[in-house]
Amino acid sequence: MSRHDVTLTVNGQRLSAETDARTTLVDFLRDELRLTGTHTGCEHGVCGACAVILDGRPSRACLVFAVQADGAEITTVEGLAPSPDSLGILQDSFWEEHALQCGFCTPGMLIAAHGLLAENQDPSDEEIRDAIGGNLCRCTGYKQIVDAVRLAAERMRKANVPGPGQ
């Protein structure tokens, strides 16, 4: 079993650790880099809880081995907030619309929605549902999540913010 040095730029910060080849990106973020905002769910690419932005696009961090991501730029849910004690527009919209109950799926939902809003400032409800279609929520029935993403898009357009969470 080979071990590898892995360096990532996570939320703008360069971080390195040594890990086994079989360590997934989500386990590396959580266990080696201690960034536990990203959640581990099904570990086989079904639930979406582990979603991160990998080189600009939402991806499942349980389906990438950390060693494969060496050198990559990653945004995790921690990177969506302007500071550790405040919320970005998207996160605040989840708060406002009660878009979470237990919160387990929330990091993945936020990343999926962030990816959508970075490309589409005025998504239809259908486009929002499509973007979060790979993320399972067992609490909300999804309605409030769709409401929250729609609200965030509206707020960002009004604030003329050039992308989510800026």
Partner 1 sequence: MKAAAFDYIRADSVDAACRALADANGDGKVIAGGQTLVPLMAMRLTRPSLLVDINRIDALRGVSDGDVVTIGTCTRHEDARRDPLVRRHLPLLAKAIGFVGHQQIRNRGTVGGSLANADPAAEIALATLLLDAEVEARSPTGSRAIALNDFLQGAMETALADDEVLTAIRCPKRAGGTGFQEIAQRHGDFALTIAAAQVELNGDGTCARIALGLGGVEDRAIRLPEIEQRLTGAALDNLDEKLKDVADMVDPMTDQHASATYRRRIAGPLLKRAIEEAVAEARA
Contact residues toward partner 1 (CB under 8 A) are 1-2, 4, 20-22, 24, 27, 42-45, 48, 51, 54, 57-60, 62-65, 67-68, 112, 115-116, 130-131, 133-134
Pick between residue 68 and residue 96 the one whose CB is nearest to partner 1: 68
CB 142, CB 94: distance < 8 Å = no
CB 70, CB 14: distance < 8 Å = no
Pick between residue 96 and residue 104 the one whose CB is nearest to partner 1: 104
Pick between residue 81 and residue 131 the one whose CB is nearest to partner 1: 131
Buried residues in 76-111 as b, exposed as e (16+ CB within 10 A): bbebbbeeeeebbbbbbbbeebebbeeebbbbbbbb
Residue 116 Cβ, how far from partner 1 at the closest point, in Å? 8
Which of 91, 56, 84, 74 has the alpha carbon at shortest distance from 12? 74
Which of 112, 141, 105, 139 has the alpha carbon at shortest distance from 128? 112
Pick between residue 54 and residue 110 the one whose CB is nearest to partner 1: 54
Residue 97 Cβ, how far from partner 1 at the closest point, in Å? 21
